[in-house]
């Protein structure tokens, strides 16, 4: 089937089997290997890309579904040779070790910061709770995302750690973590 997927702003045209996963389309047909594959049950999240700006698991979408849609991968973060603040922040805060989950974490972080540039720790942890990391224990990933937020909004102020996500000890009654 012929499809055109706009990847990092570039229309990419290909003839693919319907069963080709979006993740494999990006890695093998488009040749962008920054999007990784880590599991086979839609649990780990390393395949995360942005679909029209929204983070989704590219291993659980067929490439044909993305026909005509816009996909942002990690390779699209750098613009005109300039690193995105989230990339800079991940390096500054040691938010990566083996790097395998990093593209996904940065894209989810970017999407979060575009909705809320100053998220408290709970909100960051909630936002990345669909993405596994085995190396960092998440501590520095959270710091990196928060730091990137400060950079992006140039507020420069540390955020108060007010819990916006569901408190761990109680099920949320009506709160939504992303509000």
Partner 1 sequence: MATVETPIGGIGHRVKRKEDDRLIQGRGNYVDDITLTGMLHLALLRSPVAHARIRSIDAEAAAAAEGVVAVVTGKDLEAHGLAWMPTLSGDTQAVLATDKVRFQGQEVAAVIAETAHAAQDALELIEVDYEPLPPVVDPNRALQDGAPVIRDDKENQSDNRCYEWEAGDAEATTRALEKAEVVVELETFYPRCHPAPLETCGCVADVDPATGKATIYMTSQAPHAHRTLFAMVAGLPEQNIQIISPDIGGGFGNKVPIYPGYVVATAASLLIGRPVKWIETRSENLISTGFARDYHMKGELALNSDGKMLGLRVRMVSDNGAFFADAQPSKCKAGLFGIVTGSYDLPAAHVSAIGAYTNKAPGGVAYRCSFRVTEASYLIERLVQTAAYELGIDPAELRLKNFIRPEQFPYKSATGFEYDSGDYERAMRLALEKAGYEGLRREQEELRREGKLLGIGIASFTEVVGAGRGKDYDIAGIKMFDSAELRIHPTGKAILKLGVKSQGQGHETTFAQIVAEELGIPAEDVTVREGDTDNTPYGLGTYASRSTPTAGAATAVIARKVREKGKQIAAHLLEAAPDDLDWETDHFFVKGSPDRAVTIQDVAFAAYTNPPEGLEPGLEGVHYYDPPNMTFPFGTYVVAVEVDPEIGEWKVRSMVAVDDCGVRINPMIVEGQIHGGLAEGYGIAAMQLITFDEEGNCIGSNFMDYLIPTAWETPRFETFETVTPSPHHPIGAKGVGESATVGSPAAYVNAVIDALAHMGVRNVDMPITSAKVWEAMRTAGTPAQ
Partner 2 sequence: MFSAPFEYAAPKSLEEALSLLAERGDEAKVLAGGQSLIPLMKLRFAAPALLVDINRIDGLDYVEETGDELRIGPLARNNALAESTVLRERYPVMAAAAPLISDPLVRNLGTLAGSLAHADPAGDWGSVMLALGARLVATGPSGERVIDIDEFLQGPFTTALEPTEILTEVRVPRPTGRAGGTYLKLERKVGDFATVGAAVTLELDDGRVQRGGVALTAVGPRNLRAKAAEESLASAEPTETTFEEAAGLAAEAAEPASDLRGSADYKRETVRVFVRRGLGAAHEMATAA
Q: By the criterion CB under 8 A, which residues form the site for partner 2?
A: 1, 17-19, 21, 40-43, 45, 48, 51, 54-57, 59-62, 64-65, 67, 108, 126-131, 166, 171-174, 176-179
CA gap 167, 96 in Å, rounded: 27
Query: Which residue number, 117 or 177, has a Cβ lying nearer to partner 1?
Result: 177
Q: Is 92 in the site for partner 1 (CB under 8 A)?
A: yes
Contact (CB, 8 A) for 14 and 2: yes
Query: Which residue number, 66 or 121, has a Cβ lying nearer to partner 1?
Result: 121
**In 3D, which of 20, 50, 24, 53 has the Cα closest to residue 37?**
24
Widest pairwise Cα distance in the chain: 51
* Helix and strand numbers, DSSP H then E, in the chain: 5, 5
Query: Which residue number, 3 or 44, has a Cβ lying nearer to partner 1?
Result: 44
Pick one of 64, 111, 132, 163: the residue that binds partner 1 (CB under 8 A).
Answer: 132
Query: What three-state secondary structure class fits 54?
Result: strand
CA gap 64, 61 in Å, rounded: 8
Written as six digits, the tokens of 147 are: 């730091």
Q: Is 128 in the site for partner 1 (CB under 8 A)?
A: yes
Residue for token digits 């290997």?
Answer: 33
Query: Which residue number, 43 or 155, has a Cβ lying nearer to partner 1?
Result: 43
What's the half-sphere exposure (Cβ side, CA atoms, 13 Å) at 41?
1
Q: Taking the complex as a whole, how short is the minimal distance between the CB of residue 19 and partner 1, in angstroms?
A: 7
Q: Is 142 in the site for partner 1 (CB under 8 A)?
A: yes
Q: In the complex, which residues of this chain contact partner 1 (CB under 8 A)?
A: 17, 19, 27-28, 32-41, 43-44, 46, 73-75, 77-78, 83, 87, 90-92, 94, 96-103, 106, 121, 124-126, 128-142, 165, 168-169
């Amino acid at each position: 089937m012929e499809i055109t997927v706009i990847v990092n702003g570039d229309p990419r045209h290909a003839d693919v089997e319907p069963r080709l996963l979006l993740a494999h389309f990006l890695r093998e047909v488009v040749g962008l290997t920054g999007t990784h594959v880590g599991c086979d049950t839609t649990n780990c999240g390393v395949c995360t890309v942005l679909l029209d700006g929204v983070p989704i698991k590219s291993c659980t979408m067929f490439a044909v579904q993305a026909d005509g849609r816009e996909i942002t991968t990690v390779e699209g973060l750098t613009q005109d040779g300039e690193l995105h603040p989230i990339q800079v922040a991940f390096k500054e805060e040691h938010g990566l070790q083996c790097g395998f989950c990093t593209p996904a974490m940065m894209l989810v972080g970017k999407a979060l910061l575009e909705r809320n540039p100053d998220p408290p720790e709970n909100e960051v942890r909630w936002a990345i709770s669909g993405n596994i990391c085995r190396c960092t224990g998440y501590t520095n990933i959270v710091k990196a995302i928060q730091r990137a937020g400060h950079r992006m909004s140039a507020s420069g102020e540390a955020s108060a750690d007010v819990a916006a996500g569901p408190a761990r000890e109680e099920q949320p009654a009506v709160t939504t973590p992303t509000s």
